Amino acid sequence: MAEFELLDRDGLARIGRFDTPHGRVETPALLPVVHPDPTRQPVSTSEIRRRFGLGAVITSSYITWRTPALREAAERGGIHGLLDFDGPVMTDSGAFQQHAYGHVEVGPEEILEFQNAIGTDIATVLDVFVEPGVEHAEAEAGVETTIERARAARRARAGLLAVPVQGGAFDDLRARSAREASALGDVLAIGGVVPLFEQYRFADLARALVSTRPHLSPGRIVHLFGTGHPMTFAFAALFGVDLFDSSAYHKFARRGRLLFPEGSVAIDDLRERTCRCALCEEIPLPEVAKLQSAERERRIAEHNLLTSAAEMGVVRQAIRDGTLWELVERRATAHPALRAGLSAALGRWEVFLPTEPVSRRAFRETGPPSYERPAVRWFRQRLERYLFGLPPART
């Protein structure tokens, strides 16, 4: 199993690091999703590392496997040679493609063997994607199949293994899946939540996370599938997420939308120089909007990636400073769905309490949610019992 070194923390959120055959990963870390075909990638992998300071990436082993030219190149020169990237590479397994298109042409054993053969640093089990809205019986069957596949994968792989945690909207299934994954995986990848991100159902996402997180081993690395929008980084880190994968920087660029920690903006709506990042100082955004489509998409993708990398740095600093709750509260003011997510998280404040520090720096109030933080609720309970002899409040 991977050795995860804890360096700092703020509640469940953690600063840590772990080693891979191609280098060290410091967490929380953003892993840009890169296409295995370089002609489909708007930002080169060399730029991702050199210009944006992102030292690890994630790519699709399934797309690589099913594309003859890519498959041959990966088998010949490894996944790092194919991507022209010498840092840590995580590969997914095709589960999301199976969810999106109804099937994949490869089985769990074959895709794991392929990931082993091409030298991926973190391989992923081909799980069964459980939709948030399915019935309990269907979700349970998906969890059982994923657990069986994970057990077989653990026997077949000596290197780092990511085991997805499924269970849909059912607390009991997510809890069981989390416990089983903790016994098998180096990376525990919370799955089945991409539709919640896409539909801005952050309250449902919070409920899925609070039902999962207490059952994950504290010594494992936690990955949350689909956390690509910088608006959600602080929120996800609050639950102890260590690895974030982002295809949003490119998806939003294709639609002409710019990512910011407060949300997204259509570039065609901009008339002012609203961003002063290094890239936008080179060419102001209103000028980028006038470029030809390919160059315009590339420039927007670069802006989105730089914004995402910068926000991840803000999150790490907040963890070090012990101010992550304040950052989450500020980010939640940007969107009502994110406010609903924070409210749902605070409704289960007892999940956060075991790791909440009793002593912090000066309390900074950002609004009503500040008084519902776990530490405040805990002190309120203690004070009520001391002054009035009241029983503990129901959680």
Query: Which pair of structure tokens corresponds to residue 206?
Result: 């919070």
Return the pLDDT at 331: 97
Q: Give per-residue pLDDT as tens, 176-235.
A: 999 999 999 999 999 999 999 999 999 999 999 999 999 999 999 999 998 899 999 999
Of the residues 92, 127, 186, 204, which is catalytic? 92
Return the pLDDT at 388: 73
**395: pLDDT strictly greater than 70:** no
**329: pLDDT strictly greater than 70:** yes
Of 394, 337, 342, 395, the C-alpha closest to 367 is 342
Contact between residue 28 and residue 243 where contact means Cβ atoms under 8 Å apart: yes
Helix crossing, 171-184 with 136-156: angle to 10°? 0
What is the average per-residue pLDDT within 165-177? 97
Top-confidence residue, 104 or 136? 136
Q: Give per-residue pLDDT as tens, 275-309.
A: 888 888 888 888 999 998 999 999 999 999 999 99
The domain locations on the chain are 5-253, 324-388
pTM: 0.93
Query: What value, to the nearest 5°, has the Cα angle with vertex 20 and ends 17 and 24?
Result: 40
Distance CA 83, CA 59 (A): 9
**393: pLDDT strictly greater than 70:** no
Q: Which residue type is seen at 222?
A: V
**Is 92 assigned a catalytic role?**
yes
Contact between residue 378 and residue 350 where contact means Cβ atoms under 8 Å apart: no
CATH class of 5-253: alpha beta
Distance CA 34, CA 282 (A): 24
Query: Which pair of structure tokens corresponds to residue 277?
Result: 């990042």
Pairing mode, strands 5-10 and 13-20: antiparallel
Q: Which residue type is seen at 85?
A: F
Distance CA 263, CA 274 (A): 13
Residue given tokens 């490894």 in the structure block: 78
**377: pLDDT strictly greater than 90:** no
Among 148-157, 288-297, 373-382, which is the least confidently predicted range? 373-382
Contact between residue 116 and residue 156 where contact means Cβ atoms under 8 Å apart: yes
What is the average per-residue pLDDT within 312-335? 97
Q: What percent of the chain has pLDDT over 70?
A: 98
